Amino acid sequence: MNEMLLNIESKEIRSAILKNGKLHNLSIERKKERQLTGNIYRGRVTNILHNIQSAFIDINESENGFIHINDIVENIKKFEEMYDLDFDLEEVKAKTAKQEKQDIDQILKIDQPVLVQVVKEPIGNKGARLTSNISIAGRYLVLLPNSIHRGVSRKIENRDERERLKKIIRSFEMPQEMGIICRTASRLATTEMLIEEANDLFQTWQNIMENFTNANEPTQLFAESDIIKRSLITAIDKRYDRVLIDDYDTYQLCKRLSERYTQEYPLRIEFYRDKIPIFERFNVEREIDKTLRRKIWLPGGGYLFFDRTEAMYTVDVNSGRSSGSEGDVEESLVRINIEAAEEIARQLRLRNIGGLVIIDFIDMRFRKNQRRVLDRLKDCMKEDSAKCTILGMSEFGLVEMTRQRHRGSLAQTLFTTCPYCTGRGQVKSHESVSIELERELIKTIKHHQQYAIKIVVHPEMDEYLTAIDKQFLSELAESLNARIEWEINDNLHINDFQFYSSTNGRIIEL
């Protein structure tokens, strides 16, 4: 049974997809950090970077957006990747042949108003990635206001159906400079439904252009669907058995929105009435907690370690508690690796990990077993809506892969950098701090010629020093004709200490 849960709260909306009762995918959207992808803006050019042929655009969000010249000139390949389609009409070749290499200075000027669309969410201090190749997506069609191309999704494999859709979009009465795409769902739509949506998209575009003309400052002109509408469309696309919603107003909204698609698929939408929170009732909260851990146990006793560096994520597969007969060690390792491949694909979705990922599988002797594990990983990654590229397995059992990054990861959404360890996850040991303190004490006495010193430390450090090093440090000071006294301050960082002059009370700069 495939079902979707929608948890609506005052500051956050969460969408969970369950397959046979197990968490398969998770989306979280916070109201103060709304999704920007798909939004269209009137922007203003603030800076042009000639060396990398790019520019920064003020779009009236927290950070300026970033646009590369490849996202300014028409880019057919990106449209094909975004909507998984073939532009197989004749005008594509003609248009592509005419395109010449251009310089960004010929296209953009400082303070120039521009019409741009967000294609990648801002992450951390990086602003949103922008494009001037505008696309307005509907349920069945995508309008390309700045492109003449018309195409059909590759996922529609039936030749007759493809020809039917091509004839329909050729017959649309719309400006010649505009293009249109038939999405996968269009195979289920009648001609009337496609014409109605095409008119709606064209009207949306006219509204955008009217607002662009009337605006004088950077502003949002069009907002893409929110998480509720996107989730509802996903449920219809994937033919989920039901959608369960714990907020009555949202339940009523989804019922109204789904009426338009009843002919396509009569989605079952239910209002959740139980007193137990919906995510607890279906064990989603427990799964989210597990997903945030570094260590993930596998059913057969193995486990995974997920770690993040500045350049990549790494996943380490370990045999752990798994057991197998001595004569069948290789098959036991293959079984652990296959379990790991399945769980890694799931964890990448749940954690929303993007960018470069390196997976260290347990070493296997035979090449055929490596292929089995790699094939299983590729099969599981096919369920991921994000674009993934997986390379072969090296002799050391390493697999390199990339996963498209649309927005921040789950950890970036839920966590902030620890102010105590500044994100390192470690602090110095008490012994290390004690050694540093001894070094600074000698320098303070010999170099600064301070002979009456008050040392202020954190209470936990004071406990350690009392048990281990205070007597030694006092004897060391006496041997240098100095005396020391101790004081605690729980406002200090556990790794910090301060030296004061006992005679005038001033801090001694170390």
Give the separation between CA 322 and CA 177, rounded to whole angstroms: 62
pLDDT digits (tens, 9 = 90+) for 140-191: 899 999 888 888 888 888 889 888 998 888 888 878 788 898 988 888 888 8
Task: Give the 3-state secondary structure of 450-475.
Answer: CCEEEEEECHHHHHHHHHCCHHHHHH
- Residue-level pLDDT at 416: 85
Would you write out the chain's pLDDT as a tens digit for each of its 510 residues? 899 999 999 999 999 999 999 999 999 988 777 788 889 999 999 999 888 889 999 998 888 999 998 888 765 555 555 555 555 444 444 444 444 567 888 888 899 999 999 988 887 778 889 999 899 988 889 999 988 888 888 888 888 988 899 888 888 887 878 889 898 888 888 888 888 889 999 999 999 999 999 999 999 999 888 889 989 988 998 899 999 999 999 999 999 989 888 888 899 999 999 999 999 999 999 999 999 999 999 998 899 999 998 889 999 999 887 665 555 788 899 999 999 999 999 999 999 999 999 999 999 888 899 999 999 999 999 989 888 999 989 888 899 999 988 777 898 888 888 888 888 888 999 999 999 999 999 999 999 999 999 999 999 999 999 999 999 999 999 999 999 999 999 999 999 999 999 999 999 988
Instruction: Determine the pLDDT at residue 92.
Output: 46
Pairing of strands 313-318, 303-308: antiparallel
> Rounded to a whole number, what is the distance in angstroms from the first to the last CA of the chain?
66
- How confident is the model at residue 94, as a pLDDT? 47
What one-character-per-residue DSSP string does 224-252 give?
Answer: ---HHHHHHHHHHHTT-SEEEES-HHHHH
pLDDT value of residue 440: 95
3-state secondary structure 417-452: CCCCCCCCCCCCCHHHHHHHHHHHHHHHHHCCCCCE
CA–CA separation, 5 and 282 (whole Å): 9
Alpha helices in 23-106 (DSSP H): 76-83, 91-98
The pLDDT value recorded for residue 96 is 47
Burial of 137 (0-12, 13-18, 19+ CB in 10 A): middle
Task: Please provide residue 246's backbone torsions phi and psi, each rounded to the nearest 5 degrees.
Answer: -100, 10
Query: In the chain, how long is the greatest CA-to-CA distance?
Result: 98
What's the Cα-to-Cα distance from 132 to each of 43, 143, 189, rounded to whole Å?
11, 14, 29
The predicted structure's pLDDT at residue 75: 53
Task: Dig out the tokens for 98 from the structure.
Answer: 């005419």
Closest CA to 185 of 275, 72, 265: 265
Task: Please say whether the beta carbons of 218 and 59 come within 8 A.
Answer: yes
Ranges of H-type helices in 60-215 = 76-83, 91-98, 159-171, 191-214
Q: How far out from the chain centre does Cα 109 lie? A: 32
- Could you tell me the two tokens for 214? 């009337």
Query: HEC string of 87-114?
Result: CCCCHHHHHHHHCCCCCHHHCCCCCCEE
Cβ atoms of residues 138 and 75 within 8 Å: no
pTM: 0.78
pLDDT given for residue 467 in this prediction: 94
The residues that bridge with 68 in the sheet, in sequence order, are: 54
